Structure 1
Amino acid sequence: MTATNKTLTQMLLTFSNNYSQQYIAQVGHLPTTEHDKQWLSPCEQGQHDEHHYYWQPVAITPDLLTKTNDEELSFANVESALNLELHPDIKTYFTTIFSGDIEASCDEGQLSLLFAWNKDDFARLQENIIGHILMKQRLKQAETVFFAVTDEEDMIISVDNHSGEVWVEQVGCKPHKKLSDSLVDFISQLTPYCLMSAN
């Protein structure tokens, strides 16, 4: 793991923890999610009411994967299917924590950081990334990988697979606005945003 990837890992762990702490400070408890017995997650932290559980982001560690009988998360199958190497920051970003969407704000406005909720969700995420990159290749555009959505319809935030730069792009179009030189730089600019829970 490079120094940049270690920095990104630590930044994600710190940011996700800050999100949980800020949520507790503003709402009085952790975020809640509708409980689905078919869609369990190590993020779930106990029952809130009849249909909802508390949740918080959790670090993906060897111990956690052993406990959940999961193998180490890898993008090898994606890289093999696409015959390309994904940028290291993308792989670090999606294999550091299991989490629900984390709301955040920056100078550009509000956004939701996307993560895998569990191992099955990680597999679904991989399929979506493959579909996105195949679309970019079909349109003869530079490959990008999305990691966040904005409150503007069809606008996503993605990493340029070649440079690691963070850009805004409209689905199906070339990226049109550069936000930062790297994921580390971008996340350092974010502030956790507490989207008030209805529960």
Structure 2
Amino acid sequence: MTTPVTDALQDFVARYQSAAQQAGQPLSTEYDSAWPSPCYQGSGAEGEQVRWQPTPQAGNLSFHNVEEALSISLNPQYCEFFTSFYSDNLTAKAEQGACELLQVWNEQDFERLQQNLIGHLLMKQRLKQAPTLFFAVTDEEDFILTVDNASGAVMLEQVGKPPQQQVADDLASFIRTLEPLIQS
């Protein structure tokens, strides 16, 4: 089943792969046999550069354990964002500047994301701030992009502080505005 978020992310991934190809910079990363991923396009010697590509997930990842542990319902678009693809992080240019869309490389990476999200949500609770859900880092130190859990709006937020600025009405709209930023 496709949703606005999965459609927008799928389109961005296609544009990202195309931009890398046009730049003559195939997507590659150091091979790590201890960190397997369906993204690897072959194998290599430990530490050798190998090609990778974003790979659709089979639909087996879920945030239900986080929701149960914290007695919270997570914004569905946020959950769709992290359960659509296995991928390395994706760099992009937004209207406000450069950002890096966080992604999960494998199931263990998804577990690590969940642990970090729990830590983030507990910090928000302790600071008596509304829950936000991080999905990207920016080129500004300590600034992240989050989804407001209640409204679904994309927000610019300094870590530990309430969101400062609404960037988009929803995650799909934000992703559609991004331009791939291929690192040389």
Per the TM alignment, residue 48 of structure 1 is displaced from its structure 2 partner at its CA by: 7.5
Offset from partner CA, 1:39-87 (integer Å, 9 cap, x none): 011011135886111111111125xxxxxxxxx1011100011100000
2-structure distance, mates of 1:113, 1:154: 15
2:77 maps to which of 84, 89, 102 = 89
- The answer (yes or no) to whether the contact 2:30–2:50 under 8 Å persists in 1 is yes
Q: Give deviations 1:113-132, integer Å, cap 9, x for gaps.
A: 00100000000000000000
Q: How many residues align?
A: 183
Distance 1:48-1:109 versus aligned 2 partners, 3 A rule:
farther
- Partner residue in 1 for 2:90: 102
Query: Match of 1:163?
Result: 151
User: Is 2:52 aligned against 1:52?
Assistant: no
Percent identity, please: 45
1:43 pairs with 2:31: no
Contact 1:32 1:48 (C-alpha < 8 Å) held by counterparts: no
The letter for the 1-side match of 2:181 is Y
Task: Say if 2:31 and 2:44, in contact at 8 Å, map to a contact too.
Answer: no
Gaps spanning 5+ residues in structure 1: where?
Answer: 63-71
Matched, 1:123 2:73: no
RMSD: 1.5
**Secondary structure of the residue that 2:51 maps to in structure 1?**
strand
* 1:8 matched to 2:39: no
Q: Is this contact kept in 2: 1:149–1:156, CA < 8 A? A: yes
Structure 2: gaps spanning 5 or more residues: none
Q: Measured at CA, do residues 102 and 48 of structure 1 come closer, stay the same or move farther in structure 2, by a change above 3 Å?
A: farther
Q: TM-score, normalised by structure 2?
A: 0.95
1:136 to 112, 117, 124: 124
Distance in 1, Cα, partners of 2:89 & 2:14: 13
| SS at 2:135 equivalent | strand
Q: Tell me if 1:27 matches 2:15.
A: no
Separation (CA, whole Å) in 2 of partners of 1:61 and 1:11? 18
Please give the TM-score of this superposition, normalised by the length of structure 1. Answer: 0.88
Structure ranking higher in helix proportion: 1
Secondary structure of the structure 2 residue equivalent to 1:44 = coil
Query: After TM superposition, which residue ranges in structure 1, 4 or more long, deviate above 4 angstroms?
Result: 47-50
Name the amino acid aligned to 1:110.
A
- Paired with 1:157 and 1:164, the residues of 2 have a C-alpha distance of 12
Instruction: Return the alpha-carbon distance in structure 1 between the equivalents of residues 85 and 109 of structure 2.
Output: 12
